[in-house]
Amino acid sequence: MNLSALDTVLCPIRREGWPFIFAFALATLVMALVAAPLGWVGLVLTAWCAYFFRDPVRVTPTEAGLLISPADGLVQSIGPALPPPELGMAARPRTRISIFMNVFDVHVNRVPMDGEITALAYRPGKFFNASLDKASEFNERQSLRMTSTDGKDIAIVQIAGLVARRILCWAEEGRHMRAGERFGMIRFGSRVDVYLDDGMIPLAIVGQSALAGETVLARSLEPGENATARAGEVR
């Protein structure tokens, strides 16, 4: 796929966002009628709302064994953690990669590997700041379990945040999906966790910015291969 410079600037808006954009625009009109300066404030907020619901085209790496980021945002932590119990996975620590999305990031989530959705589970909960580690355990979440085409058993968890009050998931159990395919979104500021299977090594580094559908977070090791997680530093 060849993308022009214009494609990177002008991107589609998710249809789920249009009711919010129209509501912001209507509020802007009312504010402008009350006082002109308020109208300018409303215009800025309406523009932000449209920006929030953007859904840009992404170019997804197709090499086998790669795990691609399911979310835009900051790679906040990488370390061992138990996967959500409602997915029926073995109760043992797995490497978890957590990505925090602020209100300026794209909030459309994408499937990280080619494979089949084997389980879906929604759990209501709190709305702590998604940047806190306890958000993975206590916040409202939508969890997906997936078996990749190379046999890896992974989990993807959408987590509501302090101002996120709605998790959307379009995936269906038993459906085969491709890496980079859209499966959901979260409104407005949130977090996505990915739990790796054995034999997968993280390639991301804490503090990096990730792009959903493009950034490689991890890969499967070849038989007999030994590898260590990457290190990085601020420069």
Q: Which of the residues are catalytic?
A: 190
Q: Assign residue 193 a region: left if phi > 0, alpha if psi is -120 to 50, beta otherwise?
A: beta
Residue 146 burial by Cβ neighbours in a 10 Å radius (0-12, 13-18, 19+): buried
CB 80 within 8 A of CB 92: no
Is 145 within 8 Å of 71 (Cβ atoms)? no
Cα separation, 198 vs 118, whole angstroms: 18
Strand partners, 143: 121, 157
**Other CB atoms within 10 A of residue 121 CB:** 17
